[in-house]
Amino acid sequence: MIEHHKDLTSLTTFHVPAVAEQYCKVTTIDEARSVIQIAKEQKKSLKILGGGSNILLTKDLNSLVLHTCIDGMKTEVNTSTTLLTVNAGVEWHSLVSYCVENSLGGIENLALIPGFVGAAPIQNIGAYGVEIADVLESVTLLDLNTLEQYTLSNSECKFGYRDSIFKRSLAGKVLIVSVSLLLTNTNHKINYSYKDVALELELHSINTPTIADVFSAVVSVRKRKLPDPNVLGNAGSFFKNPVIPKTLLEEIQRQFPTIPSYKYDDENVKVAAAFLIENVGMKGYRSNEVGTHIHQPLVLVNYGNGTGGEVLELAHTIIEKVKSTFGITLQTEVNIW
Ligand code: FAD
Ligand code: NAP
């Protein structure tokens, strides 16, 4: 059933106010098809909402918001792997917990990422050295124009660093209805290359961690370091970590020798956006009801009564300061609506 003048404040993790002209929560593919058809007939722009953890609302929406809440999962167990086909409305973290409880390896490093499964391939969600592209077999889609269903393989999704075809040529053209992941039953590939996870395991004297150990370590680190969106509105990292030429890094290192950098490819390196923001004096910065988080300045926060416009203004200030100090233009990771 389509609702009119729907208040979206509690439907995104930034908790900023905005109203949608029309809104519909769908729990089956057939319902999704009907809502897409209605938007087409009414020539209304269609916006797809999942868990709302990667969206900043900056204005009221003259659109039909389709809230993808299609639940359910299919399991196909083989000798050494299990193929899970998971519908778009399943909560990502509950899927990760299910996998760890059932000894399925591959996504334990991606614990506590908010949001739904359907959005996970869009920015190729990643954390602590693992991204969904590492285990994704295929994505099933509904074409918003023809309403036909089709499937893309991993390579067809054109995954990159926080990037995929869904942010490029298919942006705004498809509804992701399910995602298939190939997970290990045994001989799991354990990854604790990130310092915070390694230190957390060391703290508990764990030398040969299991997937459950890595999961618990990631959960502990994240709970300590990142703000809980239920307490402090945010959408995780507001900007991507920039990938820059090595020559620019060398220039920056003359003034900032401690800048963290990581190999990206032969010519480019990834640098920590948090370092850039901290070094333009914006860590823990607050302007009225919005600011940057005290522990992680890459996360912009809403103290309670902030608006999307105020968050966006703060983001522009940060972009300008980082550009003038480092010559790097930060790109937003969060979707601005
Ligand atoms: P939404 O915010 O609802 O939507 C995001 C975009 O995807 C929108 O453009 C929307 O239109 C589109 N979309 C959503 N569902 C569909 C669908 N079914 N079909 C087509 N389009 C769709 N991200 C990481 O990569 N790594 C992290 O470690 C991480 N940590 C986070 C920590 C916190 C505290 C927060 C708040 C966010 C974090 N994020 C992280 C960002 C976010 O959780 C992910 O991007 C997540 O996948 C977004 O899912 P969602 O369902 O909330 O998407
Ligand atoms: P962190 O561990 O303090 O590291 C800072 C940045 O340096 C990270 O963003 C990471 O890049 C990079 N990095 C650190 N160790 C690395 C290594 N061994 N190899 C390659 N790159 C390395 O970061 P954090 O803020 O606490 O976040 C921890 C993880 O959770 C990161 O992977 C981060 O991406 C993820 N996270 C993402 C979001 C989001 O909204 N996108 C929010 C919170 C946390 P990468 O970002 O490429 O990993």
CATH of the domain at 113: 3.30.465.10
The domain of 103 spans 73-225
> Which residue, 11, 46, 68, sits at the end of a domain?
68
Q: At 314, phi and psi to the nearest 5?
A: -60, -40
Nearest to 114 by CA among 18, 214, 15: 15
- Together in a domain, 180 and 129: yes
Joined together, the tokens standing for residue 311 give 């968050």
Catalytic residue among 103, 162, 278, 289: 162
Confidence class for position 273, pLDDT limits 50, 70, 90: very high
For 29, 47, 321, the CA distances from 50, given in Å and listed in that order, are 14, 10, 32
Query: What residues does ligand 1 touch, defined as CB less than 6 Å away?
Result: 13, 48-55, 68, 88, 113-116, 118-120, 122-123, 125-127, 175-176, 226, 229, 234-236, 335
pLDDT in tens, 37-57: 999 999 999 999 999 999 999
Same domain, residue pair 162 and 220: yes
Contacts 24+ apart (CB under 8 A), 37-42: 37/147, 38/2, 38/64, 39/64, 39/66
Whether residues 32 and 97 share a domain: the answer is no
Residue in 157, 158, 108, 151 with CA at minimum distance from that of residue 129: 108
Write the pLDDT tens digit of every residue in 122-139. Answer: 999 999 999 999 999 999
**CATH number of the domain bearing residue 290:** 3.90.78.10
Same domain, 99 and 130: yes
Do 184 and 93 share a structural domain?
yes
What pLDDT was estimated at residue 127?
Answer: 97
Asked whether residue 205 falls in the same domain as residue 280, the answer is: no
Q: How far is the CA of 4 from the centre of ligand 1 (A)?
A: 25
Ligand 2 atom nearest 236 alpha carbon: 40
Name the residue with tokens 């820059």.
Answer: 244
CB 69 within 8 A of CB 31: no
Does residue 224 sit in helix, strand or coil?
helix
Q: Do 206 and 129 belong to one domain?
A: yes
Q: What is the pLDDT of residue 54?
A: 98
List of long-range contacts for 323-328, beta carbons under 8 Å, 24+ apart:
325/276, 325/279, 325/280, 326/252, 326/276, 327/248, 327/251, 327/252, 328/242, 328/244, 328/248, 328/271, 328/276
Q: Tell me: the pLDDT tens digits for 199-228? A: 999 999 999 999 999 999 999 999 999 999
Same domain (yes/no): 128, 187: yes
pTM of the model: 0.97
Is residue 64 domain-shared with residue 114, that is, in the same domain?
Answer: no
Report the SS3 class of residue 318.
Answer: helix
Same domain (yes/no): 84, 220: yes
For position 34, which CATH number holds?
A: 3.30.43.10
Q: Based on the structure, what is the number of domains in the chain?
A: 3
Question: Does one domain contain both 157 and 15?
Answer: no
DSSP string, 37-100: HHHHHTT-EEEEESSSTTEE--S-EEEEEEEE----EEEEE-SSEEEEEEETTSBHHHHHHHHH
Q: Which atom of ligand 2 is nearest to the CA of 196?
A: 2
Three-state SS for 32? helix
CB count, 10 Å around CB of 300? Answer: 30
Same domain membership, residue 244 and residue 315: yes
Tokens of 130: 């693992």
